[in-house]
Chains A and B, each alone.
Chain A
Amino acid sequence: MDSHSAPKIRRTRREFLRTVGLGLGATALAPYAIDPSPAAAQGTGGKAPRFDGVTLQVSAVEANYMIGFKLFEGELQQQYGIKMVYDTVPVDQLYQRDMLEFSGGTASHDLILVQPGWLADYSRHLEPLEPMARKYGVNLGLGDDVLPAFRTYMSWDNVLLAAPFDADQLQFLYNKVAFDRAENRSAFRAKYNYDLKPPETWDQYREMAEFFSATDWVGDGKKRFGAVESWRRGIWCYSWWLCRFASYGGVYFDENMRPLVNTPAARKALDNMMAMRKSTPPAIATAPNPEMRAIFANGDAAMTINFSSLARVVMTPAASKIVGQVGVAPVPGVRHGSELYRRSSFGGGGWLLAVPRYAKNRDAAFLALAYLSQPGPSLSLALDFRTTVDPWRRSALQSPKWYEIWPDYKDYVRQLLAVTEETPRTGIPDLQIPGSEQYRSALATEINVALVGDKQPQQALDDAAKAWDGITDRFGRDQQNAFWSKQNDALKKLGIVYRPELAGS
């Protein structure tokens, strides 16, 4: 039939062209494959392989990341002849869609963004990066310059599979009007017997929240909130709980794969959140994060813990009413004798760049990945706030360019950079074993149910532990135990071990 043959001819011609293109490309690359220059830095003119006519399909996940990629379209085109087109998919559908494709041995995208927690599940579908790096003589620079916690994100089973792209973290912000005002300081001192300053422990945080809650700490007659966070069911209540749990000495599992999410540490974390419900907005457990952030950015809350992007948003006049009135501090911890034990969490907002093994343009994708991970480009991504990308390299944090953004608030910049550097040094990385998303979701649901008062806290945590055991069994206990041991070792290297005594205090 006529209509049937026409598309077939077109397709065959397309395939023919593609084969020719591949053939030419292969011929062009052959010299480099055979004789890679070991120390070839990026952009050494004539040595760079060409991929003219190659269009990379990029799974950019979020529209703002797409802006980030677009920043480098010109350079990638110039250096390698690579073009990029973008696909954005909502985060919660991404895992499912990728798995659907990979399960059939195909991939629609050449360059993808992956959540660190999913690396285990994605691992057998990703192209190892080191052979590619050797092939093209590229130094990925993913060694010590990467901040400590993020270093654990990039490999699975000792194979380098991904490079960081975005690196969110949870930070503590406070309203300086609340903390610097003389009346507040004297009233606080009178009541609690210590000075008002960014809280060191969760108990202090709670006390300060109670102190500020429903009082007029600005002096204009309006009563405001003590603190605001985001405890909506999902990644939010989980991450905000996690930073408390970890600082009470908690860790995901013990050596025998027993979940530790119903231990005293877990309970203390949840109790702290429940105790703070009366000093935080009632909608905290269901409202979307933007609404909670707005409460702080409007100056209606004295303190907040939120994603690192808020620290930048509050200094933007178009988005904040408290520009210049904010201070940054590390997330509170737990005091144990003379030790102050702090462990923030990363909010599950991090993203890694990777190349699926079934991608059509693996090599070009790899080079794009390598380019975007270099110190220069990754810093540029972080400096352009439209991309919402956070820095993950030490060198990025040492750049003087941050001071150029807010020349009038050098102290703030100093504070911010210090905290941004500390969190990856002490924070607890996301759970990175197969099925991490399931563990996360099960626990998040239970936490949220307890927070809204629909279940007793201990019951909720026990149910979560039971759910976790169920998930472990479904994946195969021995296998999970093996994977967990590996991550546990990585955590130990960062100094993170289960410390039950901290919850006893």
Chain B
Amino acid sequence: MRAGTPWRRAGRGLVRLFVYLAVLVSVFPILWVLSTSLKLPRDYYTSPPILVPTEVTTSHYAGLFADYGAGQYYRNTLVIAIGNTLLVLLVAAPAAYGVARYRVGGRYFPVMVLGQRLLPPVVVLIPLFLLFRQAHLIDTFPGLILAYSVFNLPLAIWMLIGFFEEFPWELQDQAMVDGCSELGALARVVLPVLAPAMVAAGFFLFVYAWNELMYAIVLSRSETKPIMILFINLLRSPTGEFFGEAAGAVVLGVIPAYALTLLFQRYLIRGLVSGAIK
């Protein structure tokens, strides 16, 4: 906390206000979704609109679990998202290392890697579907975990390259001069510092995998359906009477992602904000 001129302090005060406002804006729509999930259908749309309904119902949540089998979808999503995140990090980190350190693939390799994320999912999904059908990977967890890498792997490589590039690699060279092997130096010097960055990347990957729709629609059936499919289903029903249930599905979906954030909070926030190097 640096003391400074009154202007400086006022400036900082404004900045603080800005951050708090941002928090409010970020959270409010989600609160509205939460509120909708607890409302009776006649309160979804009212004039004046109400955030806290006079009459609260848990029937939407009960319905989600009892009628729509949300529990199983939940479990499916966890398996797929966690599995994919781990797989992608495992594969992407060495690749990013190779690019950052050894310039593998040339100058435009990273952009090319990312570019393939650009194709609309549909383009990729049709041949992927045919491939998977041959390989009997439709509606299997390994299949989906593998399939999600199509969009997550490029992102992971790209993100990690960005972080790895910032790293002062002379620290590793130093360690090697001091007698470590390359991998040893990696483990002792580099990894601890880059770990928060990898966790941050992992967080993004997890969220993307968790919320993915198109791949799940094409490649999963009854065994591996993730919970967001249930959400989209309830939302898009042509007569649309299931906003409450749809909202409930979103809330259910947010909870585990949030739990994971809070779990890794220490790594994520402290690592990101204060930086191990500092």
Contact = CB atoms under 8 A, between A and B. Distances in A.
Contacts of A321: 42
Contacts of A93: 214, 217-218
A297 B243 CA distance: 15
Contacts of A104: 130, 133
Nearest to B46: A298
Nearest to B217: A93
A92 to B, nearest CB: 7
Interface stretch (A286-294, A330-338, A480-488): A286-294
A388 B47 contact: no
B239 A90 contact: no
Interface of B: 40-42, 44-47, 57, 67-69, 126, 129-130, 133, 136, 138-139, 214, 217-218, 221-222, 225, 229-230, 232-234, 236-243, 245
Interface residues of A, number: 50
A106 interface: yes
A85 interface: yes
A64 to B, nearest CB: 7
A100 B242 CA distance: 29
Given A310-B239, A386-B67, 12 more contacts: A88-B233, A89-B217, A93-B218, A100-B129, A109-B221, A290-B44, A290-B239, A290-B241, A293-B240, A316-B41, A319-B42, A347-B238
Contacts of A109: 221
Contact of B217 (A62, A90, A168, A320): A90
Interface string A91-103: 1110001001000
Given A70-B67, A108-B138, A319-B42, A309 B239 contact: yes
Nearest to A108: B221
B49 to A, nearest CB: 11
Contact of A298 (B40, B45, B67, B238): B45
A313 B232 contact: no
Contacts of A92: 236
9 contacts: A57-B222, A66-B68, A87-B225, A109-B221, A290-B45, A294-B42, A298-B45, A348-B238, A388-B239
By Cβ-Cβ distance, the 10 closest A-B pairs, closest first, are: A294-B45, A319-B41, A290-B240, A85-B222, A88-B233, A309-B239, A87-B222, A318-B40, A90-B236, A307-B239
A63 B217 contact: no
A295 interface: yes
B226 to A, nearest CB: 12
A33 to B, nearest CB: 29
A86 B229 CA distance: 13
Interface in A54-69: 57, 62-64, 66-67
Chain B contact residues: over half helix, strand or loop, or mixed?
loop
Interface string A274-306: 000000000000001111011101101000000
Most buried by A among B67, B139, B221, B222: B222
A90 B232 contact: yes
B222 A63 contact: no
A349 interface: yes
A108 B139 contact: yes
B42 A97 contact: no
A193 B232 CA distance: 49
Contacts of B130: 104
Contacts of B217: 89-90, 93, 97
Interface string A372-389: 000000000000001010
Contacts of B69: 86
Interface in A320-349: 320-321, 347-349
A297 B40 CA distance: 13
Contacts, number: 109
Nearest to B234: A63
B71 to A, nearest CB: 14
Contact of A349 (B136, B138, B238): B238
A352 interface: no
A294 B133 contact: no
A321 B45 CA distance: 11
B56 to A, nearest CB: 12
Contacts of A90: 217, 229, 232-233, 236
A112 interface: no
B65 to A, nearest CB: 12
A321 B133 CA distance: 51
B4 to A, nearest CB: 50
Contacts of B233: 62-63, 88-90
B138 A100 contact: no
Interface in A364-408: 386, 388
Nearest to A89: B217
A89 B130 CA distance: 19
A235 interface: yes
Contact of B68 (A63, A108, A297): A63
Most buried by A among B129, B239, B243: B239
B238 A91 contact: yes
Contacts of B245: 63
A294 B39 CA distance: 14
A168 B133 CA distance: 35
Most buried by B among A70, A87, A298: A87
Contacts of B234: 63
A88 B229 contact: yes
Contacts of B126: 100
B217 to A, nearest CB: 5
Most buried by A among B67, B126, B230: B67
Contacts of A300: 47
Most buried by A among B136, B139, B218: B218
Given A100-B126, A295-B45, A321-B42, A290 B243 contact: yes
B42 A297 contact: yes
Contacts of A87: 221-222, 225
A196 to B, nearest CB: 26
A169 B129 CA distance: 36
A100 B218 contact: yes
B236 to A, nearest CB: 5
Nearest to A308: B239
A29 B39 CA distance: 51
Contact of A91 (B218, B236, B242): B236
A269 to B, nearest CB: 21
A63 B242 contact: yes
A486 B239 CA distance: 31
A289 B238 contact: yes
Given A87-B225, A90-B236, A93-B217, A64 B242 contact: yes
B237 A63 contact: yes
A94 to B, nearest CB: 9
B237 A319 contact: no
Given A57-B222, A100-B218, A289 B239 contact: yes
A100 B139 CA distance: 15
Contacts of A290: 44-45, 239-241, 243
A313 B241 contact: yes
